[in-house]
A and B are shown apart, each in its own frame.
Chain A
Amino acid sequence: MSEVSDEKLVGIVLVSHSAAVAASVAELAQGLSGGGASVPVAPAGGTESGELGTSAELIAAAAASVDRGAGVAVLTDLGSAVLTVKALLAEGDELPENTQLVDAPFLEGAVAAVVTASTGADLAAVAAAASEAYGYRKV
């Protein structure tokens, strides 16, 4: 399914309008990834003052904190979270090299991304697994 890139694991950033949502989804995704290698996951939720919204600085700090040199996959909820990550990527130097905004459902994509990253998969494989979560039908 993927190439194993030494011991460097892909980092995951979870961006939500809500700090509680981002932190809880991070906790859930890590909890469901089982006893695999511990994937660097960082939530970036809400604004710096703790309100609902998006903070470019929290996103940049979260991305830097999970960068192990194997790339960083960023998953977002909606609206300004998506636009802010895109604007930061366009900026060029605000996010670690090899950072990718992943087109994926927030919760299901986060679980898929963390589980896949825990196997040592590369960024492309992590992003693909997260995107495939769109196809997970419930009915």
Chain B
Amino acid sequence: MLDADFFRRWMTVTTASVDREAERLTALDSEIGDADHGSNLQRGFRAVKDALDKEPPATPGAVLTQAGRLLVSTVGGASGPLYGTLLRRTGKTLGEAAEVDRQQLAEALRAGVDAVMKLGGAAPGDKTMIDALLPAVEALGESFTAARDAARDGAVATTPMLARKGRASYLGERSIGHQDPGATSSALLIAALLDAGPGDADAGGGE
């Protein structure tokens, strides 16, 4: 089972991954975006980690709801409301439970991804974070490892896509050949689940 501490570790590991990969995310964003994705997410997740360290929420749902709120208010770019909505909706779907299993997390994350698609209007194949998140959510029922691989493959698969959302869409054909920064950071978020887990995380919660 996954408790509030697990979800805090998930956010801590994500913060460390974003710190480590910030330059790469910004470099990807400088090719087809406005070159601020790494620094924006870094600011947001550092604020999340600080707040969760200072006053750890009691439930998985509360951890994600608070993280989402902070991302909306601190990131400063489109990834703030998008990641903020993802985590808030996932947290709200988890409700008040003190512990949840991986299957429940998969279902809640699916609700979060749906909310992101509604907010941004993106569909699969539009070269966005959705292209990493949707396959990950589908694989999450199997294991955290499968989710990490699916997200990574989904991010890589955005390279030949034509951007249909956000600033990159103004570039038209010139957006082809670059991996989407949002899908890349989404893969980091999903990979962090595996690293946040207790050793038996993949055993817990399945059938």
Tell me which residues across on chain B come within 8 A of A57, comparing CB atoms: 73
Q: Is the interface of B mostly helix, strand, loop or mixed?
A: helix
Nearest A residue to B82 via CB reads: A83
Q: State whether B120 touches A83 (Cβ < 8 A).
A: yes
Q: From B69, B119, B166, give the contact of A86 (CB < 8 A).
A: B119
Residue from the set B36, B73, B85, B88 with the largest chain A CB neighbour count within 10 Å? B73
Q: How far is the CA of A57 from the CA of B166 in the complex (A)?
A: 22
B72 touches A80 (CB 8 A): no
Asked whether any CB of chain B lies closer than 8 Å to the CB of A27, the reply is no
By a CB distance below 8 angstroms, the chain B residues around A54 are 76-77, 80
Q: Does B141 contact A (CB under 8 A)?
A: no
Q: A56-B80, A80-B78 are in contact. Are A87 and B119 (CB under 8 A)?
A: yes
Measured CA separation A91–B65 after assembly (Å): 10
State whether A88 and B72 are in contact (beta carbons under 8 Å apart), knowing that A53-B36, A79-B166, A83-B119 are contacts in the complex: yes
Residues on A with C-beta less than 8 A from B79 are: 80
- State in angstroms the CA–CA spacing of A53 and B166 once bound together: 14
Q: Which residue of B lies closest to A90 (CB)?
A: B85
Q: How many residues of A contact B (CB 8 A)?
A: 16
Q: Does B36 lie within 8 Å of A86, measured CB to CB? A: no
Among residues of A, the one whose C-beta sits closest to the C-beta of B74 is A56
A25 to chain B, nearest CB (A): 20
A65 within 8 A of B: no
- Assess whether B85 is in contact with A87, with CB atoms less than 8 Å apart: yes
Q: Is the interface of A mostly helix, strand, loop or mixed?
A: helix
Best-surrounded residue of B40, B72, B76, B85 (most CB of chain A within 10 A)? B76
User: Is B81 part of the contact surface with A, judged by Cβ < 8 Å?
Assistant: yes
CB neighbours (8 Å) of A47 from chain B are: 76
Q: Give the residues from 99 to 123 in chain B that come closer than 8 angstroms, CB to CB, to chain A.
A: 119-120
Say yes or no: A84 contacts B85, CB within 8 Å: no
Q: Identify the A interface with B (CB < 8 A).
A: 47, 51, 53-57, 79-80, 83-84, 86-88, 90-91
Binding site for A on B (CB under 8 A): 36, 40, 69, 72-73, 76-82, 84-85, 88, 119-120, 166-167
Could you name 10 residue pairs across A and B whose Cβ atoms are closer than 8 Å? A51-B76, A54-B80, A55-B73, A56-B72, A79-B167, A80-B76, A80-B79, A83-B119, A86-B81, A91-B88
- List the 6 shortest-distance A-B pairs measured between CB atoms, nearest first: A87-B81, A80-B78, A53-B76, A83-B81, A56-B73, A47-B76
